[in-house]
């Protein structure tokens, strides 16, 4: 389940790639802080997906975590690709969990999109995002901001 969530998130993040090359020194502290806030908001939503699904799995009679993982590995998020030996209960439950995962992932994407648009602007957000992946100094700045903000009372 975690692999699916991470894959969806990475796909979402990769779709927002920028085309300009910049370095860590090209961004102000406020821009770096705004980017860190965006990442923290996204993380806040997506980190709750797996525990939520796991909670539903624990409550569902007739399916356990191992079986759900086997179904997820086979279907990769697509109910129509469930194995033939999946019961109606498993198909229905898996479908409901995928709707939940997709809704939460979409919500995270909407939050990121709106924060990026209204705090940094799409162009600047994409530039920082691209630099974050390739510039270790910028990554350290953003991660440091995230760390300091998460430890504040």
- Looking at residue 22, its pLDDT comes to 45
pLDDT score recorded for residue 153? 59
* Measured distance CA(101)–CA(111) in Å, rounded: 15
pLDDT at 3: 59
Check residue 26 and give its pLDDT.
84
Please check whether residue 11 is in contact with residue 125, taking contact to mean a CB–CB distance below 8 angstroms: no
Neighbours of 116 (CB within 10 A): 21
Instruction: Walk along the chain (153 residues) in steps of 10 and give the mean pLDDT of each run.
Output: 56 45 70 94 91 93 91 91 91 94 93 93 92 92 88 64
pTM equals: 0.70
Distance, CA of 93 to CA of 139 (rounded, Å) = 39
Residues 6+ apart with CB under 8 A from 142: 32, 35, 36, 39, 128, 132
Backbone angles phi, psi at 48, to 5 degrees: -90, -5
Q: CA 60, CA 79: separation in Å to the nearest integer?
A: 18
Q: Count of CB atoms within 10 A of residue 143's CB?
A: 13
For the chain, the structural domain boundaries read 27-151
């Amino acid at each position: 389940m975690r692999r699916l969530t991470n894959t969806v998130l990475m796909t979402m993040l990769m779709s927002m790639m920028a085309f300009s090359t910049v370095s860590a020194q090209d961004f102000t502290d406020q821009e770096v802080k705004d980017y860190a806030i965006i990442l923290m908001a996204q993380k806040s939503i997506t980190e709750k997906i797996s525990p939520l699904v796991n909670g539903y799995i624990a409550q569902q009679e007739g399916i356990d975590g191992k079986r759900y993982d086997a179904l997820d590995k086979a279907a990769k998020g697509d109910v129509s690709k469930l194995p033939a030996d999946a019961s109606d209960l498993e198909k229905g439950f898996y479908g409901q969990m995928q709707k939940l995962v997709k809704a939460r992932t979409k919500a995270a994407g909407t939050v990121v999109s709106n924060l990026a648009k209204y705090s940094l602007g799409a162009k600047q957000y994409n530039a920082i995002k691209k630099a974050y992946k390739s510039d270790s100094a910028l990554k350290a700045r953003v991660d440091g901001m995230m760390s300091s903000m998460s430890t504040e009372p």
